[in-house]
């Protein structure tokens, strides 16, 4: 079985949402990185301006013989070309810049913690990768003409990017919290979006099997209109096919029964004329075969009429009264075989059903019981209630049947090997279908002492 449409749509929407989020994060990172470089370049320009101003002040102090600021008072400027002046680190909330100051090709000053950059040869921005600590720097170099020094200010891009990623993570963190909510909303949205499909499936599943009217398309979504239209066309073809089948069954039964009745009449006339002659026995066998063929055709016609998927009209049926009427119709079969009918525990129970179909059910059970009784000449009939069901039980005495044989008794055209009589193997199949038509069931089993045969029909009773 494939994955459900609801799970598939939810998964697709979730993947698209995640893809959109990842794409948005990538685009955000790209533009944030550009903004970071622009911000770093602005800061580098500000730092260079600041350092240029300080160096010019420092140069004037040296030219005028004024004392130096406290930070540089312990250094000898004349020895700076040999040992660069180490400036205390700048207290700055954020990314601390690295500063190098060059004069006459020599590094004369640098900020504490700053790496030594190569001597610049041109002004402007450049990117520098230091192999010592695998750091990446953005450097701005500027030549200051009044002081004749090179000023280099750099910011480590790795630290800048880590700060940027930390800021982005803080900004994207709410999305991780919203993700479960998004999944729930997507699932709920898909569920509600598929409600018309569920309503359509429920409407079709709750239909009576024989109802082939077209499905109403007014409330069907546009995407399902083609499916429903195709389904309606299928219903129309099925209705035509079923009607043709019913006409064929009726016509075939009529065409078969009429010549069989004529053949039987001709055979009976011949029997009267040839009574006592050897040919009479042959005619008797022909009569038996014609009776069996007529019975088979009648049973086939009955089987087609009591299709459990066809809608039938129902009324309140009193089972005890129906049993009495059908027993009176078939009593001659029991009398012909010298059988006694015992009505034990027959209660007044009513069910909702089709009286004609239930009469066929009872008639087939009685005929089977009369025809295949081979032991004690007694047929036991009971009608009682078990829970919410009415139970009709008809038992006879016969040779015991195996479990496999009992399991096949309700199959069409199945007869126990060696069975006598005119049966076609359709009686219990008809009983089963009528029971299913009335939301009931047929249960077969052995009689008392694991001998004989009992047929029990369970049908929901009226309270």
CA distance 304 to 430: 9
Listed residue (383, 394, 392, 384) closest to 341, CA to CA: 394
pLDDT at position 458 is: 93
CATH number reported for the structural domain that contains residue 421 in this entry: 3.30.565.10
pLDDT at position 13 is: 83
pLDDT at position 70 is: 47
3-state SS of 210-222 is: CCCCCCCCCCCCH
In this structure, are 120 and 24 located in the same domain? Answer: yes
Residue 460 Ramachandran class (φ > 0 left, ψ -120 to 50 alpha, else beta): beta
pLDDT at position 1 is: 52
In this structure, are 388 and 330 located in the same domain? Answer: yes
In this structure, are 292 and 327 located in the same domain? Answer: no
Q: Is residue 209 part of a domain?
A: no
In this structure, are 392 and 295 located in the same domain? Answer: no
CA distance 397 to 185: 68
Q: What DSSP designation does 203 have?
A: H
Q: Where are the alpha helices (DSSP H) in 3-156?
A: 5-64
Listed residue (310, 460, 436) closest to 361, CA to CA: 436
Per-residue pLDDT of the chain (463 residues; tens, 9 = 90+): 566 777 788 888 888 888 888 888 788 888 888 888 888 888 888 888 988 888 888 777 777 766 655 445 455 566 666 677 777 765 454 567 889 998 888 888 888 888 888 889 899 999 888 877 778 888 999 999 888 899 999 988 888 888 888 877 787 777 777 778 888 888 888 888 878 778 877 877 777 666 777 777 777 777 777 888 888 888 888 878 777 766 776 666 666 666 666 677 766 777 676 665 666 666 666 666 666 566 666 666 665 665 545 556 788 989 889 888 888 888 888 888 888 888 888 888 899 988 888 888 888 888 888 887 877 788 888 999 888 999 999 888 876 676 666 666 666 656 654 455 555 556 777 788 888 888 888 888 877 766 778 888 999 988 7
Q: Where are the alpha helices (DSSP H) in 152-221?
A: 157-193, 195-205
Tokens linked to 49:
């301006």
Q: Is residue 195 part of a domain?
A: no
Q: Is residue 268 part of a domain?
A: yes
In this structure, are 325 and 455 located in the same domain? Answer: yes
pLDDT at position 81 is: 65
pLDDT at position 83 is: 73
Q: Is residue 83 part of a domain?
A: yes
Give residue 160's domain range. 5-165
Domain count, the chain: 3
pLDDT at position 152 is: 92
Q: Is residue 141 part of a domain?
A: yes
Q: Is residue 260 part of a domain?
A: yes
Distance of CA 430 to the CA centre of its chain: 37
Tokens linked to 329:
């119709």
In this structure, are 331 and 401 located in the same domain? Answer: yes
In this structure, are 284 and 316 located in the same domain? Answer: no
Q: How many CB atoms lie within 10 A of CB 150?
A: 22
pLDDT at position 124 is: 92
pLDDT at position 173 is: 77
The 10s digit of each residue's pLDDT in 80-114 is 666 777 777 654 545 678 899 988 888 888 888 88
Q: Is residue 199 part of a domain?
A: no
In this structure, are 21 and 86 located in the same domain? Answer: yes
End position of a domain, from candidates 132, 165, 198: 165
Q: Is residue 106 part of a domain?
A: yes
| pTM summary value | 0.46
């Amino acid at each position: 079985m494939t994955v459900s449409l609801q799970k598939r749509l939810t998964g697709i929407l979730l993947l698209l949402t995640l893809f959109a989020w990842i794409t948005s994060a990538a685009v955000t990172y790209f533009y944030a990185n550009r903004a970071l470089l622009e911000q770093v370049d602005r800061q580098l320009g500000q730092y260079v301006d600041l350092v240029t101003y300080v160096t010019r002040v420092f140069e004037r102090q040296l030219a005028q013989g004024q004392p130096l600021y406290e930070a540089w008072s312990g250094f000898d400027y004349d020895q700076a070309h040999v040992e660069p002046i180490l400036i205390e680190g700048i207290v700055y909330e954020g990314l601390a810049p690295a500063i190098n100051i060059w004069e006459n090709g020599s590094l004369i000053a640098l900020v504490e913690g700053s790496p030594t950059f190569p001597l610049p040869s041109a002004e402007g921005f450049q990117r520098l990768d230091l192999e010592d600590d695998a750091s990446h720097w953005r450097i701005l170099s500027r030549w200051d003409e009044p002081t004749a020094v090179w000023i280099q200010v750099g910011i480590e891009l790795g630290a800048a990017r880590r700060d940027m990623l930390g800021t982005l993570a803080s900004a994207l963190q709410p999305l991780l919290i919203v993700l479960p909510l998004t999944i729930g909303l997507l699932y709920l949205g898909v569920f509600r979006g598929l409600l018309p499909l569920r309503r359509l499936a429920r409407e079709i599943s709750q239909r009576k099997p024989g109802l082939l009217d077209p499905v109403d398309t007014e409330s069907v979504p546009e995407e399902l209109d083609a499916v429903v239209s195709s389904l309606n066309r299928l219903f129309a073809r099925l209705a035509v096919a079923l009607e043709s089948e019913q006409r064929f069954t009726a016509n075939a039964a009529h065409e078969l029964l009429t010549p069989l009745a004529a053949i039987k009449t001709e055979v009976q006339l011949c029997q009267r004329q040839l009574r006592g002659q050897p040919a009479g026995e042959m005619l008797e066998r022909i009569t038996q075969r014609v009776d069996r063929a007529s019975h088979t055709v009648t049973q086939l016609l009955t089987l087609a009429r009591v299709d459990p998927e066809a809608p039938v009209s129902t009324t309140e049926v009193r089972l005890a009264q129906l049993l009495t009427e059908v027993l009176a119709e078939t009593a001659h079969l029991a009398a012909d075989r010298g059988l006694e009918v015992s009505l034990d525990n027959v209660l007044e129970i009513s069910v909702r059903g089709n009286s004609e179909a239930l009469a066929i059910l009872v008639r087939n059970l009685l005929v089977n019981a009369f025809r295949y009784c081979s032991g004690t000449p007694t047929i036991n009939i009971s009608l009682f209630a078990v829970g919410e069901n009415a139970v009709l039980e008809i038992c006879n005495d016969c040779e015991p049947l195996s479990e496999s044989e009992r399991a096949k008794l309700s199959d069409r055209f199945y007869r126990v090997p060696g069975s006598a009589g005119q049966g076609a193997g359709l009686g219990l199949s008809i009983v089963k279908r009528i029971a299913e038509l009335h939301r009931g069931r047929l249960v077969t089993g052995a009689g008392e002492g694991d001998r004989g045969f009992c047929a029990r029909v369970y049908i929901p009773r009226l309270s």
